Structure 1
Amino acid sequence: MGHYRTIQQWYEILSKRLKGAPRESIRFYSLEAFPRLMHHLETHKANCSVCAQHFAKLDKMSLNLGQWLKTEAPEIAAFQEELEKSVRHLRTEHKVFPKGLWLSRFVLIGILVGILGALITIVVVAGVVIGGILFTGAFIGMLAGWFAGKNKERKIKKQNRLY
């Protein structure tokens, strides 16, 4: 294996390339995960030609990205499309996911299950404080989802399938 840039090095590279770009645009296009994505694509480009193509395109596009964000250039749409294609490729072909995806999914499911449990409790048990039961159910569900999501992401990270 060759020498690959670290995630920190990618943060530094992209921070130079995005110098002067509006922070709102950086947040809007979810570019906080972009350095982790580039690192992952770079480390896998030797084994996957599709990863290599996505890496080359995104690397080249990122050279102009700061200027595109400043001027709201139409090229941003092509960049966003390439970004989505690379994320979709990683997810479908390599089973690689962005950090926080599983955590947020499990927390949402936990909250919904907790609220459902609270609603069932309200129907079955007479005289309960509805607001308190709903809040408690949502909180317990969120907590259970958080633990389950963290556990899932820990397992995925050990398999090097998290960026």
Structure 2
Amino acid sequence: MSHYRTIQQWYEILSNRLKGAPRESIRFYSLEAFPRLMHHLESHKSECSVCASHFQALDEMSFELGQWMKNDAPEMSKFQVELEESVRHLRTDHQVFPKGLWLSRFVLMGILVGVLGALITIVVVAGVVIGGVLLTGAFIGMLVGWIAGKSKEKRIKKQNRLY
């Protein structure tokens, strides 16, 4: 079995390749998850030809990425397309998701449900402090959503479906 680089090694590799790239560009292109994505694609490229193809393309592009960002080169759009296609492939074909996706979804749903519950409480119960009830509902919803999201991500991580 081949030795694959760790996520930490990918952080170091990509940091070196992106030396001199503007930090704003790195944030704009959402490259915080890029090392985890590369690690996941690399460790699954022997089992899936599409993962291997995406890994090869992104690895080659990453050598020029820093320069492309500095110059706002048109190749950045090709990189973005490749990045989005690889993420879509992982999500649809392998049911693999980025870390934090489910947590943020559940927190958002929890806040919405909490606010809805607070609004219902305001309509049904007379004489309540509207601001306090809304804030409490949003907080409780956020807390429940955070717990549910963490639980879901923990389950997905055990199945090796989180990058």
TM-score, structure 1 length as denominator?
A: 1.00
Q: Secondary structure at the match of 1:63?
A: helix
- State the distance in 2 between where 1:2 and 1:26 align: 30
CA shift for structure 1 position 82: 0.1
Q: Tell me, yes or no, if structure 1 residue 160 matches structure 2 residue 160.
A: yes
CA deviation vs aligned residue, 1:81-115 (integer Å, no higher than 9, x gap): 00000000000000000000000000000000000
Partners of 1:21 and 1:90 lie apart in 2 by: 27
Shift of 1:54: 0.1
CA drift of 1:131 comes to 0.4
2:81 partner letter: E
| Aligned match of 1:51 | 51
Aligned to 1:37: 37
1:46-71 Cα offsets, whole Å, 9 max, x none, are 00000000000000000000000011
Q: Does 1:28 align with 2:42?
A: no
Structure 1 Cα separation of the partners of residues 72 and 150 of structure 2: 37
- Aligned counterpart, 1:122: 122
Amino-acid identity (%):
82
Alpha-carbon distance between aligned partners in 2 of 1:32 and 1:88, rounded to the nearest angstrom? 17
Report the alpha carbon displacement of residue 33 of structure 1 after superposing the two structures with TM: 0.3
| Secondary structure at the counterpart of residue 4 of structure 1 | coil
Structure 1, unmatched stretches of 5+, are none
Task: Letter of the 2:136 partner, please give it.
Answer: T
**Aligned: 1:82 with 2:58:** no
2:140 matched residue in structure 1: 140
Residue 6 of structure 1 pairs with residue 12 of structure 2? no
For 1:124, give the aligned amino acid.
V
In structure 1, the partner of 2:108 is 108
Gaps of 5+ in 2: none
C-alpha distance in structure 1 between counterparts of 2:141 and 2:82, whole Å: 36
Distance 1:27 1:91 in 2: 22
Provide the aligned C-alpha RMSD in A: 0.3
Is 1:73 aligned with 2:66?
no
TM-score by length of 2: 1.00
Once the two structures are TM-superposed, the CA of residue 45 in structure 1 deviates from its matched residue by: 0.2
